[in-house]
């Protein structure tokens, strides 16, 4: 009854050499751990929603503030997925115009793209950290549960920091690939 | 410099970045940052960047997306794609080209519980391609059918691009789903007719399969009941007022997971594989959403969308000429870009243009819904038209022995069917709007 299924991005993969030892292994482990944590949060959110529906239908008692819990959980989960996706080089880019360039030129452009990604992620990390402190000082809370919003920001800050590190690391590997004679 | 000129300049800059392999999301963010800072200064920009990520990612309407993706991976794990193909093949597999039509039917069925085209193409490709090849279908027809059939994943609700359109256009997702259903079914029928025509012209391309007895047919039908059940809850539950779309998707994801578990396809290892695959595809989408958010805050500041809309109205050309131009723009963009990026880039600019023109005397809300379905269909065409249709790539990576050019040729008849459908949708808005009006 079962067939073997590999969805896109879930191919039976061989781990690139650069990601299987030293700093590369650290990046791979870190991003995977964050993604698993995020995915478990997402799964917990699904269970929470269903429990709340069940409570609403059967006992006319939904979980208090279930929508805002869902919002906080999904925001954290989605952010935690970002570094993993980049580690797998799955963030979308356009290959069309450069497909015919030599592999060294492509690696060079990829190094540049990775650097830009790292810079943007770093800028967002800094601004999100400011945002986190602002939220804490202002005492921002969700409407019903009074959940402090700055706590959700921690997941965002960590995610974008790891994204910046991952991007910088991959940009560096691309640069070394570009400098190696083909 | 007017808003249009500055907007166009920055747009050109962004497209240049994209052409040079900068990630689409990052090209949008950089363009947005530079444009925003130029128009409003750095400190409002930095203040905006403190809160916009959380604001975007905690949007309740968007939280449905990762759940749809999770549902799709679980459903594939549970072998539901195979059950769907088996049931279709049991009924029409003995027709000429019947197995290819079965693949289209199964894609439509899988599309009813999966919101993504790529996942539908990948899953159905793995299930149906070996069967089609076993019955000596021509590689061209087999791969073309599956690449085209994959698009039914987003044409038939649930649909991730429609969720995004609903957010951009501030329209009700339930109404958009209602509007998409009939065009989605038309798409499946159109593809089946295409297969019938192709196999009539070249009978060897799609030989008939075995005729199957009624006992086996009913057994196959029983195997697909989870699909029907999940679709009924996820889509039907929204209209019956039982759930919000997000809750419905949570129910669907857990049910799909439970089905996969009971069928023996989901143990701890596969469970984490499904979670990580969901993580990856979710991150792809939400990274672009973030980029589009930064870009669109700049576009809103520049007034470019409104100015463009006024300018187009001032031209005094026929609205239908404008619509055909818009579709041409989508086809060209579809040559190099994925469907979500296209929607996120174009809808904030083109929707005001469309709403500013008169089409068949439709009111604003109807126009927005009608255009949403149309935009969905044309960005979906981008998934299968050369040179870089993503579905073509995916199917081709599964059927490794088939040259890419064969798949591209195989898709061409289906593109003709798409073109006919786009024209029908433009000329008869009722196709999209009838069901919406029935809802009242």
Q: Please give the C-alpha separations between residue A165 and each of A34, A86, B54, in angstroms, as whole numbers.
A: 13, 11, 21
The pLDDT tens digits along chain B (440 residues) read: 777 889 889 999 999 999 999 999 999 999 999 999 999 999 999 999 999 999 999 999 999 999 999 999 999 998 999 999 999 999 999 999 999 999 999 999 999 999 888 889 999 999 999 999 999 999 999 999 999 999 999 999 999 999 999 999 999 999 999 999 999 999 999 999 999 999 999 999 999 888 888 988 999 999 899 899 999 988 988 888 888 999 999 999 999 999 999 998 889 999 999 999 999 999 999 999 999 999 999 998 988 888 888 998 888 899 999 999 999 999 988 888 888 999 999 999 999 999 999 998 999 999 999 999 999 999 989 889 877 788 988 898 888 889 989 999 999 999 999 999 999 999 999 999 999 998 86
pLDDT of residue B31: 96
Name the residue among B243, B251, B265 with its Cβ closest to that of A2.
B265
Using a CB–CB cutoff of 8 Å, tell me whether A58 touches chain B: no
**Between A122 and B211, whose confidence is greater?**
A122
A132 CA to chain B: closest CA distance, Å?
A: 8
Average pLDDT over residues A35-42: 96
Which burial class, exposed, middle or buried, applies to B212 when counting CB atoms under 10 A from its CB (0-12, 13-18, 19+)?
middle
Encoding tokens for residue A164? 């910046």
Q: How far apart are CA A63 and CA B19, in angstroms?
A: 48
A91 CA to chain B: closest CA distance, Å?
A: 5
Which residue of chain B is at minimal alpha-carbon distance from A115? B22
A22 CA to chain B: closest CA distance, Å?
A: 23
Partners of A52 on chain B (C-beta within 8 Å) are: 247
Encoding tokens for residue B346? 């174009």
Partners of A40 on chain B (C-beta within 8 Å) are: 275
Q: How far apart are CA B380 and CA B385, in angstroms?
A: 9
The tens digit of pLDDT for each residue in A102-121 reads 999 999 999 999 999 999 99
pLDDT at A13 over 60: no
What three-state secondary structure class fits B151?
Answer: coil
pLDDT of residue A8: 41
Using a CB–CB cutoff of 8 Å, tell me whether B20 touches chain A: yes
Q: Please give the C-alpha separations between residue B178 and each of A53, A168, B67, B154, B200, in angstroms, as whole numbers.
A: 24, 45, 20, 13, 34
pLDDT of residue A182: 59
User: What is the DSSP code string of B357-410?
Assistant: S-STT--HHHHHHHHHHHHHHHHHHTTTSSS--HHHHHHHHHSTTS-HHHHHHH
DSSP 8-class letter at A63: P
Compute the half-sphere exposure of residue A77: CA atoms within 13 Å on the CB side of its CA: 32
pLDDT of residue B118: 86
Interface ipTM: 0.91
Which residue of chain A is at minimal alpha-carbon distance from B291? A120
A109 CA to chain B: closest CA distance, Å?
A: 6
């Amino acid at each position: 009854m079962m067939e073997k299924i590999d969805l896109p991005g879930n191919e039976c993969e061989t781990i690139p050499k650069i990601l299987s030892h030293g700093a590369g292994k650290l990046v791979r482990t870190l991003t995977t751990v964050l993604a698993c944590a995020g995915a478990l949060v997402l799964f917990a959110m699904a269970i929470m929603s269903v429990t709340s529906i069940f409570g609403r239908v059967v006992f006319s008692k939904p979980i208090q503030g279930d929508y805002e819990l869902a919002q906080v959980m999904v925001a954290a989960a989605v952010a935690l997925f970002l570094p993993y996706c980049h580690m797998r080089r799955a963030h979308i880019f356009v290959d069309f115009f450069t497909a015919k360039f030599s592999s060294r030129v492509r690696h060079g452009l990829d190094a540049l793209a990775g650097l830009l990604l790292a810079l943007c992620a770093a800028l967002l990390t800094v601004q999100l950290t400011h945002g986190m402190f602002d939220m804490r000082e202002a005492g921002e809370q969700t409407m019903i549960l009074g959940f402090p919003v700055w706590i959700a920001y921690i997941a965002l800050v960590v995610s974008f920091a790891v994204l910046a590190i991952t991007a910088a690391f991959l940009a560096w590997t691309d640069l070394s690939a570009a400098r190696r004679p083909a | 410099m007017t808003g249009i000129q500055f907007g166009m300049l920055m747009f050109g800059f962004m497209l240049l970045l994209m052409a040079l392999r900068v990630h689409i999301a990052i090209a949008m963010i950089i363009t947005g940052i530079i444009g925003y800072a130029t128009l409003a200064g750095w400190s409002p920009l930095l203040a905006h960047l403190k809160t916009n990520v959380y604001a975007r990612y905690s949007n309740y309407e968007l939280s449905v997306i990762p759940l749809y993706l999770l549902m799709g991976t679980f459903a594939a794990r549970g072998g539901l794609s195979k059950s769907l193909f088996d049931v279709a093949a049991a009924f029409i597999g003995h027709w000429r080209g019947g197995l290819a039509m079965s693949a289209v039917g199964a894609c439509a069925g899988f599309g009813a519980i999966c919101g993504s085209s790529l996942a539908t193409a990948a899953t159905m490709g793995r299930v149906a391609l070996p069967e089609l090849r076993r019955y000596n279908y021509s590689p061209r027809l087999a791969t073309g059918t599956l690449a085209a059939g994959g698009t039914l994943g987003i044409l038939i609700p649930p649909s991730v691009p429609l969720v995004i359109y609903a957010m951009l256009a501030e329209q009700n997702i339930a109404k958009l789903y209602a509007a998409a259903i009939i065009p989605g079914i038309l798409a499946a029928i159109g593809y089946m007719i295409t297969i019938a025509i192709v196999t009539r012209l070249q009978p060897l391309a799609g030989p008939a399969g075995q005729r199957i007895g009624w006992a086996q047919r009913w057994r196959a039908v029983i195997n697909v009941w989870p699909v029907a059940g999940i679709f009924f809850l996820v889509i039907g539950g929204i209209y019956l007022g039982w759930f919000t779309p997000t809750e419905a998707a949570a129910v669907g994801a857990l049910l799909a997971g439970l089905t996969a578990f009971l069928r023996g396809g989901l143990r701890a290892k596969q469970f984490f594989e499904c979670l990580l695959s969901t993580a990856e595809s979710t991150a792809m989408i939400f990274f672009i959403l973030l980029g589009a958010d930064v870009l669109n805050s700049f576009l809103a500041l520049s007034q470019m969308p409104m100015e463009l809309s006024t300018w187009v109205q001032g031209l005094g050309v026929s609205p239908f000429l404008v619509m055909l131009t818009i579709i041409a723009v989508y086809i060209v963009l579809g040559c190099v870009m994925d469907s979500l990026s296209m929607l996120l880039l174009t809808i904030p600019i083109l929707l005001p243009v469309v709403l500013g023109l008169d089409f068949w005397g439709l009111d604003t809300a109807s126009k927005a819904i009608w255009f949403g379905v149309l935009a969905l269909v044309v960005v979906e065409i981008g998934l299968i038209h050369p040179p870089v249709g993503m579905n073509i790539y995916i199917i081709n990576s599964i059927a490794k022995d088939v040259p890419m050019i064969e798949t591209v040729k195989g898709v061409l008849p289906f593109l003709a069917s798409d073109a006919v459908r786009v024209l029908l949708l433009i000329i008869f808005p009722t196709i999209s709007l009838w069901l919406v009006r029935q809802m009242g």
